[in-house]
Amino acid sequence: MSNHSQAACAKHYIGTQKASFLLNISAVRLRQLLQHGRVIGAYKSGRRWLIPLKKGLPQITPGKRGPAGTWSRRRRQVNTRIDSCQ
């Protein structure tokens, strides 16, 4: 593991697949939100998005048009193991 990816894990950054699972939306939709700058604190390192967690979930700013977002704003009720630093 490189020094940069170790530093990212220490700050609780995750990738798009894990973030989309936590938000209960598709990875494609999450990438659209990332491209529009709606995920707070997310940045691109090479080809990968690094998404910070706040209270265990990525933070998304509300849109200006259309219906309200339907992603999950609370933690999942079942115990799900996500290995983010292995």
In a domain, 32, yes or no: yes
Three-state secondary structure call for residue 55: coil
pLDDT, tens digit, 9 for 90 and up, residues 30-47: 999 999 999 999 999 999
pTM of the predicted protein model = 0.67
What span, in angstroms and rounded, lies between the C-alpha atoms of 50 and 58?
Answer: 10
Number of domains in the chain: 1
In a domain, 8, yes or no: yes
In a domain, 74, yes or no: no
In a domain, 62, yes or no: no
Query: Could you tell me the CATH number of the domain that includes residue 17?
Result: 1.10.10
In a domain, 31, yes or no: yes
pLDDT tens digits, the chain, 86 residues: what are they?
455 554 544 468 999 999 999 998 999 999 999 999 999 999 999 999 999 999 888 999 988 887 777 666 666 666 666 665 54
In a domain, 14, yes or no: yes
Question: What range does the domain containing 10 cover?
Answer: 3-52
